[in-house]
């Protein structure tokens, strides 16, 4: 319950939104909140200004300082514009000369108010003398990243809330290499945004500074996606692979089928109801392809037409979900770790088979992604780096090694993969095309995609990955999560599910400890940019791996479990899965959750 003084402060802020600086619809909605007996909506809408974090903005749409609306979007863009102009004046960009005018790419996905927010962003940039390339309509997040690089821009914005519920929208900020902004520029932008008041926002810029882009960029992007192809012959032999695709009402609706056809696949079916642009996502409870419910219509179509696999992209078309048939012919969703494993396994083995693998090539995964990929890379003699969660860190590795080594793929457990370096964010069009190539290769060799996955387990051993989310809302929740992490550090965990912990990693201090001959040996962990993160990891003598990480964007603490089990034959897959999952309660008990 808010105090009277706090409520008066919130009401005072809300009253400023009744001026003529705001449109009539906004003023009417704020007036209604102020006059309502229940002040809950008023408080939530105005108790703070929506925070511009390291990735940008994300929040519920509506009037108010704590909401996504054209005024908050404009305010954030003014701060971003100030920072871009500052860096340009200082000569801090690699691809323009000191003092040259910076340029940006602006895009959006299918969400409600997406076009309005994108045009607001473009207008504010133009009013600050920044050239803008504005996509004509919704486009995938990875195409925005591609366009920034392709047009040699200094930054970009994509208006999207990814797979969040329909009430949300967001604002992703990008830098000159096409990746989401990293240090030190992330903090620099945050500082500039924090200085901007509504009265400081510039509008009504030179319209000639805004150029609409579309079809030509689509073609160039599609050509880049085609460069990912490893084995065209197998696709030509299996061009009739039966594929069902759904864009979840979002930005992949045109480009993904086009890319699949450009690779040579000819038997592509789309879910018509979900090809409709719809920011309300009326055919699903949540537009998150990780959720089985969201894949229902695709699987139903797949059953009707005898499809080999069903594939989805999320609303901004950066993440994917893959559904294939198991040994009983039933649909099964491949999880994010398994997806990443299949990509890496195929890339390594088939590039070697075709003589395309070079010593300077490397793969990337995040620290919470399956350790089977590490086993794979070590056995095959391929360089693999571990990066923090979030594709900006994978993009950072590409930037660090650009011109020195060749990137051939990277992914994370949360259903994202990037198989080439022309884009610097998760890329579902290229990932979808590549998984179809993998399915074609499997079929060419008398296997289903499911059987291909089981073969990986037979070669490298089985383990099951599970994620546990503990939600703790509000200020008290944040304090509880902080106390939990502090407790793990002050009272180190020595056993998990009856197995001795023999190695730990603390990414907040960048220290790794290993138990040898009854003594703990400490060594430093080397992470890109020397960056630290509030993550703890535990490794047991029996092969269990546990990662503990407070979420940076949601009020939750996340636990990632990797649990090995015996799998002597492919037929043992279900039994091994059940055996691994049966250990989850004991692991949770060891962690006090």
On whether the CB atoms of residues 80 and 72 are closer than 8 A, the answer is no
DSSP 8-state secondary structure symbol assigned to residue 61: B
Does the N-terminal peptide bond of residue 184 adopt cis geometry, omega within 30 degrees of 0? Answer: yes
Does the N-terminal peptide bond of residue 66 adopt cis geometry, omega within 30 degrees of 0? Answer: no
The total of other beta-carbon atoms located within 10 Å of residue 553's CB is 12
CB burial readout 362-374, b (16+ within 10 A) else e: bbbbbbbbbbbbb
Give the residue extent of every domain in the chain: 70-213, 221-460, 462-591
On whether the CB atoms of residues 533 and 507 are closer than 8 A, the answer is yes
CA 99/CA 432 separation, integer angstroms: 41
Could you tell me the sign of the dihedral formed by the alpha carbons of 549, 551, 556, 559, in that order? negative
CA 80/CA 125 separation, integer angstroms: 9
Can you say how many angstroms the Cα of residue 396 is from the centroid of all Cα atoms in its chain? 15
Would you place residue 164 in the very low, low, confident or very high pLDDT band (cuts 50, 70, 90)?
Answer: confident
Would you place residue 3 in the very low, low, confident or very high pLDDT band (cuts 50, 70, 90)?
Answer: confident
Query: Which CATH class for the 462-591 domain?
Result: alpha beta
Query: Which CATH class for the 70-213 domain?
Result: alpha beta
Dihedrals φ, ψ of 434, to 5°?
-70, -40
Q: Which residues pair with 105 in a beta bridge?
A: 133, 156
pLDDT, one tens digit per residue, over 418-429 is 999 999 999 999
The predicted structure's pLDDT at residue 257: 98
On whether the CB atoms of residues 91 and 212 are closer than 8 A, the answer is no
Report H helices in 55-196.
70-90, 114-127, 141-150, 185-195
Q: How many angstroms separate the most distant Cα atoms in the chain?
A: 74
Residues 6+ apart with CB under 8 A from 168: 58, 59, 60, 61, 68, 111, 161
Positions marked active-site: 162
Would you place residue 339 in the very low, low, confident or very high pLDDT band (cuts 50, 70, 90)?
Answer: very high
The predicted structure's pLDDT at residue 290: 80
On whether the CB atoms of residues 200 and 405 are closer than 8 A, the answer is no
pLDDT, one tens digit per residue, over 101-152 is 999 999 999 999 999 999 999 999 999 999 999 999 999 999 999 999 999 9
Whether the domain at 221-460 and the domain at 462-591 fall into the same CATH topology: no
Report CA-CA distances (Å) from 2 to 6, 36, 47, 241, 478. 6, 16, 10, 60, 18
Model confidence at 553: pLDDT above 70 = no
CA 191/CA 79 separation, integer angstroms: 8
Place of tokens 């809302």: 473
The predicted structure's pLDDT at residue 531: 92
pLDDT, one tens digit per residue, over 137-146 is 999 999 999 9
Task: Please state, rounded to an integer, the average pLDDT across all residues of the chain.
Answer: 95
**What is the arrangement of strands in the sheet containing 383-387, beginning at the earlier edge strand?**
383-387, 361-366, 406-412, 416-418
- Lowest-confidence range among 179-188, 250-259, 524-533, 550-559? 550-559
CA 342/CA 453 separation, integer angstroms: 7
Report the share of the chain in percent with pLDDT over 70. 99
Model confidence at 414: pLDDT above 70 = yes
Would you place residue 205 in the very low, low, confident or very high pLDDT band (cuts 50, 70, 90)?
Answer: confident
Dihedrals φ, ψ of 466, to 5°?
-140, 140
Residues 6+ apart with CB under 8 A from 589: none
Model confidence at 64: pLDDT above 90 = yes
Terminal-to-terminal C-alpha distance of the chain: 29
CA 47/CA 22 separation, integer angstroms: 19
The predicted structure's pLDDT at residue 554: 67
On whether the CB atoms of residues 442 and 349 are closer than 8 A, the answer is no
- Taking residues 234-257, what's their average pLDDT? 97
pLDDT, one tens digit per residue, over 366-396 is 999 999 999 999 999 999 999 999 899 999 9
DSSP 8-state secondary structure symbol assigned to residue 399: H
Place of tokens 């392709």: 150
The predicted structure's pLDDT at residue 419: 98
Maximum mean pLDDT: which of 48-52, 337-341, 548-552: 337-341
- Taking residues 334-361, what's their average pLDDT? 97
Rg of the chain's alpha carbons, rounded to an integer? 25
Model confidence at 289: pLDDT above 90 = no
Residues 6+ apart with CB under 8 A from 328: none
Place of tokens 């990509």: 343
Dihedrals φ, ψ of 428, to 5°?
-70, -35
CATH code linked to domain 221-460:
3.40.120.10
CA 497/CA 591 separation, integer angstroms: 9
Residues 6+ apart with CB under 8 A from 369: 336, 337, 340, 411, 412, 413
Could you tell me how many helices (H) and strands (E) the chain has, helices first?
A: 19, 23
On whether the CB atoms of residues 425 and 180 are closer than 8 A, the answer is yes
Would you place residue 1 in the very low, low, confident or very high pLDDT band (cuts 50, 70, 90)?
Answer: very low
Between CA 583 and CA 467, with CA 320 as vertex, the angle to 5 degrees is: 20
Could you tell me the sign of the dihedral formed by the alpha carbons of 437, 438, 439, 442, in that order? positive
């Amino acid at each position: 319950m808010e105090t009277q003084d706090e409520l008066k402060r919130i009401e005072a802020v809300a009253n400023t939104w009744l001026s003529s600086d705001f449109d009539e619809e906004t003023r009417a909605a704020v007036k209604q909140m102020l006059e309502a007996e229940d002040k809950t909506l008023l408080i939530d809408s105005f108790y703070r200004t929506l925070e511009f974090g390291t990735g940008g903005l994300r929040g519920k749409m509506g009037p108010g300082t704590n909401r996504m609306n054209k005024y908050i979007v404009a305010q954030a863009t003014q701060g971003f514009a100030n920072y871009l102009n500052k860096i340009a004046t200082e000569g801090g960009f690699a691809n323009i000369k000191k003092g040259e005018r910076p340029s940006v790419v602006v895009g959006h996905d299918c969400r409600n108010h997406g076009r309005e927010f994108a045009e607001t962003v473009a207008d504010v940039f133009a009013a600050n003398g920044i050239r803008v390339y504005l996509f004509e309509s919704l486009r995938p997040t990875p195409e925005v990243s591609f366009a920034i690089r392709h047009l040699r821009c200094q930054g970009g914005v994509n208006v999207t809330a990814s797979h969040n519920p329909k009430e949300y929208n967001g604002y992703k900020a990008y830098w000159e290499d096409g990746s989401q902004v990293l240090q030190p520029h992330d903090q620099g932008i945050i500082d500039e945004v924090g200085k901007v008041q509504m009265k400081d926002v510039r509008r009504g810029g030179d319209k000639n500074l805004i150029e609409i882009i579309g079809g030509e960029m689509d073609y160039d992007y599609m050509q880049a996606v085609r460069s990912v192809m490893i084995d065209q012959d197998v696709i030509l032999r299996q061009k009739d692979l039966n594929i069902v695709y759904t864009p979840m009402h979002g930005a992949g609706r045109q480009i993904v089928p086009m890319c699949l056809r450009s690779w040579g696949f000819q038997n592509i079916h789309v879910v018509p109801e979900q090809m409709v642009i719809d920011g309300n996502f009326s055919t699903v409870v949540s537009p998150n392809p990780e959720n089985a419910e969201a894949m229902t219509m695709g699987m139903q179509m797949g059953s009707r037409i005898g499809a080999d696999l069903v594939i989805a992209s999320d609303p901004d078309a950066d993440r994917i979900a893959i559904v294939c048939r198991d040994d009983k012919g039933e649909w099964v969703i491949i999880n994010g770790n398994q997806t990443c494993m299949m990509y890496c396994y195929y890339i390594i083995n088939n590039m070697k088979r075709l003589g395309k693998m070079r010593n300077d090539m490397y793969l990337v995964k995040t620290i919470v992604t399956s350790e089977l990929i590490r086993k794979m890379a070590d056995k095959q003699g391929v360089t693999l780096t571990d990066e923090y969660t979030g594709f900006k860190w994978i993009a950072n590795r590409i930037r660090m090694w650009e011109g020195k080594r060749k990137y051939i793929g990277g992914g994370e457990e949360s259903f994202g993969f990037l198989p080439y370096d022309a884009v610097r964010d998760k890329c579902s069009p290229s990932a979808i095309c590549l998984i179809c190539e993998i399915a074609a290769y499997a079929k060419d060799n008398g296997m289903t995609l499911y059987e291909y996955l089981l073969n990986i387990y037979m070669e490298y051993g089985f383990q099951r990955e599970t994620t546990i989310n503990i939600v703790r809302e509000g200020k008290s929740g944040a304090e509880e999560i902080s106390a939990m992490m502090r407790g793990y550090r002050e009272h180190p965990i020595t056993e998990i599910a009856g197995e001795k912990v023999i190695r730990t990693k603390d990414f907040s201090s960048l220290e790794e400890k290993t138990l040898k001959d009854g003594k703990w040996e400490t060594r430093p962990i080397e992470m890109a940019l020397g960056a630290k993160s509030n993550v703890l990891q535990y490794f047991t003598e029996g092969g269990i791996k546990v990662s503990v990480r407070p979420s940076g964007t949601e009020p939750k603490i996340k636990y990632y479990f990797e649990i090995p089990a015996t799998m002597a034959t492919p037929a043992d897959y279900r039994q091994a899965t059940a055996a691994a999952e049966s250990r989850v309660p004991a692991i949770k008990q060891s962690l006090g959750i």
